[in-house]
Structure 1
Amino acid sequence: MRTRPLRLQKGDTIGIIAPSSPPNIENLNRSLAFLEQLGLNVKMGKHVEKINGYLAGTDDERLEDLHDMLTDPNVKGIICAGGGFGAARYADRIDFQLMSEQPKILWGYSDITYLHTTIGQFANVVTFHGPMLASDVGKDTFHELSARMFGQLFEPIELHYTEDISPLTTISRGVAQGELVGGNLSLLVSALGSKYEIDTRGQLLFIEDVSEEPYKVDSMLNQLRLSGKLHDAVGFVVGDFAKAEPKNQKSTLTLTEVLKHYLGDLGKPVVSGFKIGHCEPHFAVPLGVEARLDGDSKTLTILPGVK
């Protein structure tokens, strides 16, 4: 069982980092009012505004900001400004002992999947897959439900996802229980064959992605199949796959057909349609905590991520 970080209190300080690509600074600044409404103070990473091509500063600078937030005793949690690309470039240099000795909240998604997986497995700490500051909070499209999801950081809340939130589709019936792990499908696949690949043994695997056509999702799910990751999981939580429509192909399989091909005959519950991922609203979830997926009633129950 992974260690749950301490809950936030009003007056706590949150560290903001840009661990991947350069965030939209205007949106980031707009998001600070939301954190203020939550009663939080902010410590901005020294290199958040750096630009190094498609990266938010050099690998050393982005890693320095992460380590700085982990070592600062006044920082109680870390919220990512945005995703993009680049977290994997320094994954082998993260000091996981810093996180395991003083577990802190880490919140983000998309490219942050690499941090979720590595910190979860090497520091054994629960992390949070949720909307980011510049990418989501600072935009006019930020949804009320997305905002409410930050409440799980202030008190241990058991989360319940039902069709009251969004329509769900059962691809395979049944009930399974295990730790919820996963995130962005592209990132999960990119780590296969390395020491940082995801461990799905006895776990509920959550996947989501954006702008990936069905044939690309097909390829990635096949990689997970060949690597044994689908076999090892006990069930599948399929999040949002935004902009998955084929662009130029006249003849194609649908995303649902692809999901059914790889997940439908495993004899494990599979439910799709969860608004978790590159979407609004974005239902934030803790990763590494016990969860229960019921393909018959189309419900997902997740234990609290903080203590």
Structure 2
Amino acid sequence: MTKKHIYIYSPSSAVRDKAAVRRGVARLRAMGHDVEVDASALASHMRFAGDDDTRLEAIHRAAASGADVAIITRGGYGLTRLLPAIRYKAVARAIERGTRFVGLSDFTAFQSAVLAETGAVTWAGPAVGEDLGVEGEPDEIMLACFEDLVSGQGEGTGWQLPSAERTDSFRDVQGVLWGGNLSILATLAGTPWMPQIKGGILFIEDVHEHPYRVERMLTQLLYTGVLAQQKAVLFGHFTNYKPVPHDKGFRLKTVIDRLRGQIKAPVFTALPFGHVPTKVALPVGAKVHLAVEGRDAFVLWGHRH
């Protein structure tokens, strides 16, 4: 693998597991990369990685770094506070020069705002701490997808749908891929930083959110007209929530089945993305093909699809 310049910064919550971030840095260096860690990456102010100005400056330093990849230490909370003050033109120029901004979770706010403000592509992918810095070996699929992203070789990703979603006919949907964390997207609805994507392919994931909360957030996107404008909706993983006795059969499947009755676009599940070890890298804002045949689903963005 060609040596790349990777810039690590913290635009959201304070790093609590510093050992994990150090392991992630060491792993990237062991892979042969030139790793630069932002001066405030391990800063702490209340629950944030530094106050708002500190984190804003970290974003702008990442944009000015000339790095091939700018990747977050972790998600959490804090980016929505910064959206009015981010210098989007500087970020877009950095992307044009070849910097790939990578992250997930709270990073969805940054990605959505960059897409809404400039149309530039960012990447939904791993974080340094929870993904690259795990004890033991990182997930092989996650690592392979990240290596493709870093090298610029990635052309798509595929996964297997649940048997109930098997289709007998070949389906090919084209559109702009966008989305990420559902809580963040619902929060941005109606703001200037919610991308206005018509005919898009929306992917969503979340963590610590009970299915009724997932349904409530999807209803927000439904009532604001976002879902009606999409050509397909892809569910990633929704993890770390606990059912309760008074659910009485209400579960995530209930939410998905109801959504299928509310929109015309197909809804597919099991996309390998979210707060899970096995996560693919996805280009947020890129034009893609979604191809489905049998139980095989592919999202393709390379030149040869």
The TM-score normalised by the length of structure 2 is 0.89
- Secondary structure in 2 aligned to 1:260? helix
Q: 2:115 aligns with which of 116, 120, 131?
A: 120
Partner of 1:52: 45
Unmatched segments (≥5 aa) in structure 2? none
Say if 1:18 and 1:80, in contact at 8 Å, map to a contact too. Answer: yes
Partner amino acid for 1:143? D
CA RMSD of aligned residues (A): 2.1
- Secondary structure in 1 aligned to 2:246? coil
Query: Does 2:143 align with 1:143?
Result: no
Partner amino acid for 1:54? R
Partner of 2:25: 32
Partner amino acid for 1:31? G
Calculate percent identity across the aligned residue pairs. 27
Partner of 2:257: 260
- Secondary structure in 2 aligned to 1:145? helix
Q: 2:301 aligns with which of 297, 300, 303?
A: 303
Partner of 1:91: 83
Say if 1:108 and 1:131, in contact at 8 Å, map to a contact too. Answer: yes
Partner of 1:5: none
Structure 1 70/257 Cα, relative in aligned 2: closer, same or farther at 3 Å? Answer: same
Unmatched segments (≥5 aa) in structure 1? 1-8
Q: CA deviation at 1:167?
A: 4.5
- Secondary structure in 1 aligned to 2:152? coil
Deviations 1:136-185 (A, max 9, x none): 2111263111111112220332113132xx74752998542111100000
What CA distance in whole angstroms lies between the structure 1 residues aligned with 2:10 and 2:245?
34
Partner amino acid for 2:288? A
Say if 2:228 and 2:264, in contact at 8 Å, map to a contact too. Answer: no
What CA distance in whole angstroms lies between the structure 1 residues aligned with 2:159 and 2:247?
35
- Secondary structure in 1 aligned to 2:68? strand
What CA distance in whole angstroms lies between the structure 2 residues aligned with 1:217 and 1:37?
39
Structure 1 114/105 Cα, relative in aligned 2: closer, same or farther at 3 Å? Answer: same
Q: 1:17 aligns with which of 9, 12, 18?
A: 9
Q: CA deviation at 1:83?
A: 0.3
What CA distance in whole angstroms lies between the structure 2 residues aligned with 1:217 and 1:18?
27
The TM-score normalised by the length of structure 1 is 0.89
**Equivalences for 1:99-248 in 2 at 5 Å?**
99-103=91-95, 104-140=99-135, 142-152=138-148, 153-163=150-160, 167=162, 170=165, 174-247=171-244
What CA distance in whole angstroms lies between the structure 2 residues aligned with 1:125 and 1:13?
20
Say if 2:176 and 2:197, in contact at 8 Å, map to a contact too. Answer: no
What CA distance in whole angstroms lies between the structure 2 residues aligned with 1:214 and 1:34?
36
Say if 1:238 and 1:274, in contact at 8 Å, map to a contact too. Answer: yes
Runs of 4+ displaced beyond 6 Å = none
Deviations 1:249-295 (A, max 9, x none): 35241101111212345232211011201112112211112222245
- Secondary structure in 2 aligned to 1:115? helix
* Larger helix percent: 2
Alignment size in residue pairs: 294
Structure 1 247/20 Cα, relative in aligned 2: closer, same or farther at 3 Å? Answer: farther
Say if 2:222 and 2:228, in contact at 8 Å, map to a contact too. Answer: yes
Q: Bigger CA drift: 134-143 or 44-53?
A: 134-143
Q: Bigger CA drift: 263-272 or 34-43?
A: 263-272
What CA distance in whole angstroms lies between the structure 2 residues aligned with 1:118 and 1:168?
36
